[in-house]
């Protein structure tokens, strides 16, 4: 099945991305019972061939299914269906969406302010380089990896290694959340603009602007998560 053929077969209100189309198909198949609870989904390679997309696209769609509570991944065995409808509570690896929202506001906002006070030439070069790469990147999986590196770079620029340790600890969860928001929430373009405002404020040496820009970024992330699963399940 070629997704480009599938997308042009009938008029669409908007053109969906490949990852979103794979996710919608698999989610629909699970909710219809085509894949029953306990069933193993086809491998990443098989799904990639079926939909004529890269494995990175398939991987993001499978991660989104896990975040929705529909599947679990078992090392060396594959991805298995565990529910026929979303659980209503998002999880990204070991952490819930609420866990991440709460911690990030208490860590990344002050880290951005300290980064604006303490950044050095090396920090500026790293942030600038990451922004340029993210804005040029066409592969969603690669962009998600750069997104994590950007937030680590901000924490590192704070000059406080504890901030960096916290972000490193939740790095995998952040990547999963970022991929989920890109696939379901269409966040990537907005995130690029928000990241640029954060970096510009840090580079300009304005703690107030940096904390404001980071707060706005995290608020928008939380808002999109709330739209997808219900505000109370993210911020309550």
- Residue 235 has a pLDDT of 60
- Residue 6 has a pLDDT of 43
pLDDT at 38 over 90: yes
Per the DSSP assignment, residues forming a β-bridge with 74 are: 78
| pLDDT one-digit tens code per residue, 129-182 | 999 999 999 888 899 999 999 999 999 999 999 999 999 999 999 998 998 888
Percent of the chain with pLDDT over 70: 89
- Cα(28)–Cα(191) distance, rounded to whole angstroms? 28
Give, to the nearest 10 degrees, the angle between helix 18-32 and helix 44-51: 110
Residue boundaries of the structural domains of the chain = 3-81, 91-235
pLDDT at 12 over 50: no
Helix residue ranges, H only, the chain: 3-8, 18-32, 44-51, 55-67, 97-118, 121-136, 140-157, 161-169, 171-185, 188-204, 207-229, 231-235
Task: Tell me the fold of 91-235.
Answer: 1.20.120
Q: DSSP secondary-structure letter at 40? A: B
CATH number of 3-81: 1.10.10.10
202, 196 Cβ separation under 8 angstroms: no
Is residue 11 very low, low, confident or very high in pLDDT (cuts 50, 70, 90)? very low
| pLDDT one-digit tens code per residue, 72-126 | 999 889 999 999 888 767 888 889 899 999 999 999 999 999 999 999 999 999 9
């Amino acid at each position: 099945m070629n997704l480009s053929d599938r997308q042009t077969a009938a008029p669409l209100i908007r053109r969906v991305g490949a990852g979103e189309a794979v996710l919608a198909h698999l989610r629909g198949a699970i909710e219809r019972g085509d894949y029953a609870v306990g069933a193993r989904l086809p491998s990443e390679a098989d799904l990639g061939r079926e939909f004529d997309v890269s494995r990175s696209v398939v991987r993001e769609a499978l991660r989104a299914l896990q975040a929705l509570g529909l599947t679990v991944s078992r090392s060396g065995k594959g991805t298995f269906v565990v529910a026929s409808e979303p659980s209503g509570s998002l999880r990204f690896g070991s952490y819930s969406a609420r866990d991440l929202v709460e911690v990030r506001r208490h860590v990344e906002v002050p880290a951005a302010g300290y980064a604006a006070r303490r950044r050095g030439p090396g920090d500026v070069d790293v942030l600038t380089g990451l922004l340029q790469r993210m804005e040029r990147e066409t592969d969603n999986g690669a962009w998600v990896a750069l997104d994590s590196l950007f937030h680590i770079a901000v924490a590192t620029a704070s000059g406080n290694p504890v901030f960096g340790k916290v972000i490193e600890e939740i790095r995998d969860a952040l990547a999963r959340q970022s991929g989920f928001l890109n696939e379901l929430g269409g966040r990537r373009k907005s995130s690029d603009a928000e990241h640029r405002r954060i970096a510009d404020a840090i580079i300009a040496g304005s703690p107030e602007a940096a904390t404001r820009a980071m707060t706005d970024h995290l608020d928008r992330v939380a808002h999109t998560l709330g739209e997808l699963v219900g505000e109370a399940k993210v911020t309550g």
